[in-house]
Chains A and B, each alone.
Chain A
């Protein structure tokens, strides 16, 4: 059973009870995800609230939700994208342009290179640098390393192919490393400047 599908299936009780149980179980994780993506605590709480009210509206229409976790992530992800559009006016087309039309190199498509790349990074530093990443990379990195979803689940959630997920993860991590290295370099420069003074 995948991580997305774990728990909560075929819970008994009324729709309300099931829904509130899903809130108790996933609200924290959803808040964390939202918070890391948009870097605004209050906004993140609102987005989690909106996520649950939207899902409740869906339940009220008579739809049956068998697994809440993937469904909640999907709704939240859409809300975050909406939020980005409001903020930065950046479209998915712009995102594609940024990434280029290439589907990624062999190296970028390999999961093992993602792992070896991640191994070279300092987690603490990387987390601090997450904010500097464009959201399309941040999204997959958070989903992969914070929410611990597999590439397949991520591809379903963000409605992209697994290849694109891999490429984004790869490039995101590279960007993180670059950011960390840049930061270290600037710190070193600052330290040298202080010494000279």
Chain B
């Protein structure tokens, strides 16, 4: 077999193209190829080995861009989220102020919501400043910028109030009350902070400048308040809303708060409820019966005026009213009676509701804002109604018995001396 194959092959190999035949054949073929060249797209395709890296790089670009998309989304979600905790001087602080807050502001539709948002922005600025001051990082520049921001936000809020006034003057008054009570709370908080700072003298800087700015804003707002009175219906509706909110907050807070805190908040809530109840009674009383009531209503007005006087006098008096306050109160009552004589019963009702609303709002910020709780005692923020204290004396002592708290007892004794 091997022999056969070898022999056959050897003979077969003698059959071959001669050199010139082969060359001729090759030339024919090359010229045929020249007359029938590859189409251009195939010529490009034949560069495929060279194109492959380009193709991979295209794939890489596609993958990269996909990852970039995911990264961008992550970035857009994460940065604002992280920025929320930024304070002045942080890299992300501008994101918080100029992006997050502007976006949130643009999501508010009604002017009233805008006022609320400007108010809470103002509160945020002050909270940031307090945070920095606590860490001793509040530089004069930052404090100045915060003071400027406070002014801007309060101006913006007032502008919005003006917008509301153009459409609904009553709503504007309610918005004003909200803004005023917020400013009052912040002013109290800063006052508390300043007092503590001076006492501690730990930090070179205090928030005195800022406190001045807030006070200025507060005065502007108060002076801007018109003599216009909101209607009973609107105001009572708002009071109803806010008291409900406060009650709900109290229910959730009461589980964690100390018995003392619970008791004091509870008393203030019932105080507010009393005011509201009185206002409703007064409102429902027929005009001919009013004569029987002036003394009562005078007392209401008096006590509320007294509160305003008392605040700057004893900023740190926590759980008790000092005996020295007594003569002062009497004077105030006397003055208030004079003022109250001019007031119509309807005005008294509105004033009562206005106070109730402000107290409720202050109470809400006391319950919700940890800074407020740390810097201001509830007594400073929402002083007790003297009348209601007398009225609630029994309930108070009941509560104190139940709670077994010495402080509450002491408070009752103080109240007794007060009267």
Contact surface of A with B, Cβ cutoff 8 Å: 12, 14-16, 19-20, 23-24, 27-28, 31-32, 35-36, 45, 48-49, 52-53, 56-57, 59-60, 62, 115-116, 118-119, 121-124, 126-128, 142, 145-146, 148
Cβ-closest 3 pairs across A and B: A123-B7, A127-B11, A123-B8
Pair A127/B7 contact, Cβ less than 8 Å: yes
Pair B4/A122 contact, Cβ less than 8 Å: yes
Closest CB in chain B relative to A95 CB, distance in Å = 23
Number of A-B contacts (CB under 8 A): 101
Pair B22/A20 contact, Cβ less than 8 Å: no
Pair B3/A119 contact, Cβ less than 8 Å: yes
Pair A15/B46 contact, Cβ less than 8 Å: yes
- Bound CA span A59–B32, Å: 13
Residue from A12, A56, A62 within 8 A of B36 (CB atoms):
A56
Chain A residue with the shortest CB-CB distance to B26: A23
Residue from B4, B11, B28, B39 within 8 A of A49 (CB atoms):
B28
When distances are taken between beta carbons in the complex, the residues of chain B under 8 Å from A23 are: 26, 29
Pair B29/A49 contact, Cβ less than 8 Å: yes
Residue from A31, A32, A119 within 8 A of B1 (CB atoms):
A119
Helix, strand, loop or mixed for chain B's interface? helix
Pair B9/A145 contact, Cβ less than 8 Å: yes
Closest CB in chain B relative to A22 CB, distance in Å = 11
When distances are taken between beta carbons in the complex, the residues of chain A under 8 Å from B12 are: 32, 36, 127, 142, 145-146
For window 24-81 of chain B, which residues contact chain A by CB distance below 8 Å? 25-26, 28-30, 32-33, 36-39, 42-43, 45-46, 49
Closest CB in chain B relative to A104 CB, distance in Å = 20
B10 within 8 A of A: yes
| Contacts beyond the supplied A53-B29, A124-B7: 4 A-B pairs with Cβ under 8 Å | A27-B26, A32-B16, A127-B8, A145-B4
Pair A31/B5 contact, Cβ less than 8 Å: no
Residue from B4, B11, B16, B43 within 8 A of A31 (CB atoms):
B16
* In the complex with contacts A60-B39, A123-B10, A145-B8, A118-B1 CB distance below 8 A: yes
When distances are taken between beta carbons in the complex, the residues of chain A under 8 Å from B15 are: 31-32, 35-36
Interface residues on B, range: 20 to 34
B6 within 8 A of A: yes
When distances are taken between beta carbons in the complex, the residues of chain B under 8 Å from A32 are: 12-13, 15-16
B21 within 8 A of A: yes
- Bound CA span A124–B45, Å: 49
Pair A123/B6 contact, Cβ less than 8 Å: yes
B200 within 8 A of A: no
Pair B5/A28 contact, Cβ less than 8 Å: no
Pair B32/A56 contact, Cβ less than 8 Å: yes
Pair B4/A119 contact, Cβ less than 8 Å: yes
When distances are taken between beta carbons in the complex, the residues of chain A under 8 Å from B7 are: 122-124, 126-127
When distances are taken between beta carbons in the complex, the residues of chain B under 8 Å from A127 are: 7-8, 11-12
Pair B29/A60 contact, Cβ less than 8 Å: no
- Bound CA span A148–B8, Å: 11
Please name 17 pairs of A and B residues whose Cβ atoms are closer than 8 Å in the assembled complex, sorted by A. A14-B43, A14-B46, A27-B17, A28-B16, A31-B15, A36-B15, A53-B36, A59-B38, A60-B38, A60-B42, A119-B3, A123-B10, A127-B11, A145-B5, A145-B9, A146-B9, A146-B12
